[in-house]
Amino acid sequence: GLKWVHLVGPLTPVPTMQNPDCSACDSRPNVRPSDSEIGLYEGAGYYHCGLYRPAYTCRMRDSSQHFCKVCAEGIQDRLRPFFGMTPALAASVSVLDFGSVGSGSAMTLTFDISNVGAVPVTGISLTSSSPNFSAAPATVSTMAAGQTRAVSVSFGPVFTSGTRTGNLLITSNAATLSVELTAFVCIPSASMQVQTADASLNLNFGDVGRRLTMYRWLEVRNIRTSCASQLRVELSSPPAGFDYAPGTVLNFTLPAPTAAETFTSRRVYVAFSSPASGGPDFNGTLTVTTPDDPLTSSVTLNLSARAVDPPPVDSVLVIDRSGSMSEPTGVPGASKMDLAIQAANLYISLLKDNDRIGIVRFNHQAANPGDILQSLVVAGDPVSGSGRAAARGVLTSANLSPSGNTSIGGGTILGSSVLDSAVAASRAVVVLTDGIQNASPDIPTASAAVSAKSPRQRVFAVGLGLNQLEDRLVELASVNNGLAQITGELAGDREFLLQKLYVQILSDVADEAFVQDPVNVLYPGSEQATDVYIGEVDVAADFIIVYRKAASYPSVEVWLEAPDGTIVRPGDSGGIFPNFSFIPGDGHAYFRCQFPAFPDKPKAHIGRWRVWLASRKRGEYRLEASHYAAGQGTNFYYSVMSKARSDLRLHGQVVQTSYQPGSMMTLLLEPTLYGQPVKLNEPVEAHVSRPDGQVKIIQLEHTADGRYKGVFEDTYQTGIYPVSVVAWATTPLGAKVTRYRHLTGLIFRPGKGGSSGGKDEGGTTGCEEAGSMQKRLEGMLIRFSEKNPGEQEEVRFILDWLKKFIENCCKAKSSPDRKKLKELLGRTGQLLAEAEEA
């Protein structure tokens, strides 16, 4: 962190100035009104860039300037031991010169008094010898050793011209100090200037998605003249469609600039809230006026904005159907392909009405016409849309029957070719694979092909399971700012990770925000709620429930509770509450809400929402109602997440320059509000899971460029390192909201990878899965012995077989070994599920 952060004001930008030319000193004027303001100015020592000084005038070998506050503090700390037990008080100035002050105006300057000794200074009194000057505070009872305190000295108002002088006496149990005071009263004149971000008199908001709010700023300045004066300012009412930020005062006064200030200023934020309908073009003007500047009494700014429908997203799902996709997972009764289909269905369900979706499949080849399962089609209505129905209709076991090897490159190229017919500016290829590339075309070929496309196509790669220990998947996702994720074993708290990653990808592509919640278990007869925090920066939200598919279900009732206590049930959606809809799906259901949630209460959506589930014999709405009867008395496994259309977004990445054990991972988060960097609530922490399951917490520090950065170095185990971040932020209106990111780090010993034997072995010997299941079985053995004594012998047999299998990992595996492993992993999943139910 910044060493002198305690001296930086809340409105001072950090960094304050950055040098645009690192070959020379930055000689530009100060961008801040005061040369003594503490911030972060690039250029220090012999370095034009890369090192920073605390104040604009804090430069080496320049003795004409007073020490800045940071340097003075350091000098005092160094000299303090030499004062012994004698009280010692020092002032940061010996002369306080107010310069020229307009008649009838007042001006205030500040300086510091410091206890530079080692003992307290008591009974401090500040007295002016002239009635034209006054000091605040007038008395200070005590100052501890090392303490510094600001003193404000005010001059005026005085109505006759001429020089005014005086002295400020500072008495205490230390030696008396005297500060000379001087000011010159003159006939005042003010100079108004209005600045914008692009130095024009136009506030262009550009295209703003409907129901979103965008801000632009203007800055009113009182420029220092030969006889500075205060500047009274009045803002006109904004035109239709535009508004000022909450709390904006339309009439204010800027104080006269001091001799050390180029100007005084106030920044005003103007908002454009894109309506649900109407427009699309909005134009108008606002005027800044003052009675104090005879030359520039008013400045008019032009406002322009265009309301546009939410920009569509065109995406293609690329699904691996190689032989290993038939393997079991840590989710009871579900194969890898089962989970892939569930996640794809959720992705399709959450699309906006104007989004387009396509689906392709691949194994060792992806060139047959039949591998394009669905060309790009408009999604349409969440319930009745023909495009969604067509896309869901091709996600069948017949179309995605696992067989063959793995050509990730081939699948990516095919998906990209389908996306060539897209019309949206936002385009994504989402690749799901569980194996290592072992058939041509390869990943570098695909990366080169996709990166050459215009408009750009972002590639998101999801590695399902434990097999993708290679950097090629990361290379693929690096195309056009995409992202790679590897799930690891989908069990325990990772059961719904694949669905969450698909929701996060859709959020990234659509520039939306994502919140998640861990796995929950709903027990018979119980009810529980998951909290989701919404702010005024959010304009729409999906409250999503994903759940474990099973042969039977308990009767589960679901409803929403708004921050003001209003209850929204599925049957109320679209009727009692027209801004809500409820959409059930395959292994999921969600409420979609357009804010304001309740038109007669425009701010009732700000605060804590609760997603309730209850396991009851009777309920007004039941998830999977057609299968519930046989499931009474069973547990219900689910997770809640929320995706918000929002102005507050959180992006992130794991940066690795090497994948070797012991190499460093750098974690980066980039929060933005209205497209500008924004601070998160401290502390900002990342939870990193090592391959052995241990979780490490990393503190992320706020950097000068507005990002949050942390380093993780405990990377001596090979495998995946899932990283999760739940960040809190405070919105401009003071609401608390959360944002979530899941990232993946990767450590392995690079090798050739893959297989050329004509069969897809997933790129591994199977030892990772065997080892994972062995650990889980050992952990559950005591529970088996207590509640399932009849199965204890079977568990011990499986454990012995897995141990022998793992001991011979380096040896070639026979087909019977692979077949036996597959059978035992399936049976292990059943036993673990039974133990959880018990």
Reported as a single tens digit per residue, the pLDDT across 181-215 is 999 999 988 999 999 978 889 999 888 877 777 77
Return the CATH number at 258: 2.60.40.10
Return the CATH number at 455: 3.40.50.410
| Predicted confidence (pLDDT) per residue in 379-428, tens digit | 998 888 999 999 999 999 899 998 888 888 899 999 999 999 999 888 99
3-state SS record for 476-534:
HHCCCCCEEEECECCCHHHCCHHHHHHHHHHHHHCCCEEEEEEEEEECCCCEEEEEEEE
Q: Are residues 198 and 168 in the same domain?
A: no
What is the reported pLDDT for 755? 37
What is the reported pLDDT for 664? 92
For the chain, how far is it from start to end, CA to CA, in angstroms? 50
Q: What percent of the chain has pLDDT over 90?
A: 35
pLDDT at residue 627 tops 70:
no
Q: Are residues 337 and 288 in the same domain?
A: no
- Say how many CA atoms lie within 13 Å of 702 toward its Cβ: 17
| Predicted confidence (pLDDT) per residue in 572-606, tens digit | 888 889 889 999 988 899 999 988 888 778 788 99
Domain around 97 = 78-186
Mean per-residue pLDDT for 427-431?
91
Region of poorest pLDDT, from 178-187, 404-413, 546-555, 779-788: 779-788
Q: Are residues 151 and 280 in the same domain?
A: no
| Selection from 408-412, 496-500, 512-516 with the highest mean pLDDT | 408-412
What is the reported pLDDT for 302? 96
Q: Are residues 286 and 425 in the same domain?
A: no
What is the reported pLDDT for 469? 46
Q: Are residues 291 and 148 in the same domain?
A: no
pLDDT at residue 677 tops 50:
yes
Mean per-residue pLDDT for 434-447?
80
**Token pair of 741, please?**
């990111």
C-alpha–C-alpha distance, residues 129 and 170, integer Å: 11
Q: What is the pTM of this model?
A: 0.60
Question: Strand, helix or coil at 776?
Answer: helix
What is the reported pLDDT for 194? 96
Give a yes or no: residue 346 inside a domain.
Answer: yes
**Amino acid of residue 313:** V
| Predicted confidence (pLDDT) per residue in 141-151, tens digit | 999 988 999 99
Give a yes or no: residue 117 inside a domain.
Answer: yes
pLDDT at residue 344 tops 80:
yes
3-state SS record for 66-121:
CCCHHHHHHHHHHHHHHHCCCCCEEECCCEEEEEEEECCCCEEEEEEEEECCCCCE
Q: What percent of the chain has pLDDT over 70?
A: 83
pLDDT at residue 21 tops 50:
yes
Domain boundary residue among 511, 534, 559? 511
Phi and psi of 390, rounded to 5°? -65, -40
Domain boundary residue among 142, 168, 186? 186
Instruction: Output the average pLDDT for the chain.
Output: 83
What is the reported pLDDT for 619? 52
Q: Are residues 279 and 367 in the same domain?
A: no
What is the reported pLDDT for 811? 47
What is the reported pLDDT for 291? 95
Q: Are residues 372 and 280 in the same domain?
A: no
Quote the number of domains for the chain: 5
User: How long, in residues, is the chain?
Assistant: 838
C-alpha–C-alpha distance, residues 622 and 244, integer Å: 46
Give a yes or no: residue 738 inside a domain.
Answer: no
Region of poorest pLDDT, from 517-526, 659-668, 670-679, 734-743: 517-526
| Predicted confidence (pLDDT) per residue in 36-84, tens digit | 889 999 888 778 888 889 998 887 655 666 788 888 888 878 887 777 7
Cα–Cα nearest to 506, from 343, 280, 661:
343
| Selection from 624-628, 719-723, 815-819 with the highest mean pLDDT | 719-723
- Is pLDDT larger for residue 634 or for residue 220? 220
Question: Strand, helix or coil at 823?
Answer: helix
Region of poorest pLDDT, from 170-174, 369-373, 383-387, 490-494: 490-494
What is the reported pLDDT for 417? 93
Mean per-residue pLDDT for 284-288?
96
Domain boundary residue among 491, 511, 531? 511
Give a yes or no: residue 632 inside a domain.
Answer: no
| 615 neighbors 636 (Cβ within 8 angstroms) | yes
Confidence class of residue 753 from pLDDT cuts 50, 70 and 90? very low
556: CB partners within 8 A, 6+ apart: 522, 613, 614, 615, 616, 619, 622, 623, 624, 628, 636
Mean per-residue pLDDT for 502-522?
76
**Token pair of 511, please?**
């520039």
Q: Are residues 356 and 453 in the same domain?
A: yes
| Torsion sign, CA atoms 736, 737, 742, 745 | negative
Confidence class of residue 819 from pLDDT cuts 50, 70 and 90? low
What is the reported pLDDT for 762? 41
| 487 neighbors 743 (Cβ within 8 angstroms) | no
- Is pLDDT larger for residue 284 or for residue 599? 284
pLDDT at residue 836 tops 60:
no
Give a yes or no: residue 159 inside a domain.
Answer: yes
Tell me which H or E stretch contains 206: strand 202-209
Give a yes or no: residue 417 inside a domain.
Answer: yes
What is the reported pLDDT for 286? 96
Confidence class of residue 813 from pLDDT cuts 50, 70 and 90? very low
What is the reported pLDDT for 810? 42
What is the reported pLDDT for 596? 82
Residue with tokens 């997440």: 641
Q: Are residues 270 and 375 in the same domain?
A: no
What is the reported pLDDT for 688? 93
| Torsion sign, CA atoms 478, 480, 481, 482 | negative
Q: Are residues 361 and 480 in the same domain?
A: yes
| Predicted confidence (pLDDT) per residue in 314-340, tens digit | 999 999 998 888 888 777 778 889 888
Give a yes or no: residue 625 inside a domain.
Answer: no
Give a yes or no: residue 711 inside a domain.
Answer: no
Q: Are residues 46 and 22 in the same domain?
A: yes
Mean per-residue pLDDT for 645-651?
87
Q: Are residues 469 and 495 in the same domain?
A: yes
What is the reported pLDDT for 516? 65
What is the reported pLDDT for 460? 86
Region of poorest pLDDT, from 39-53, 470-484, 560-574: 470-484
Number of other CB atoms surrounding residue 474 within 10 Å: 23
- Is pLDDT larger for residue 381 or for residue 501? 381
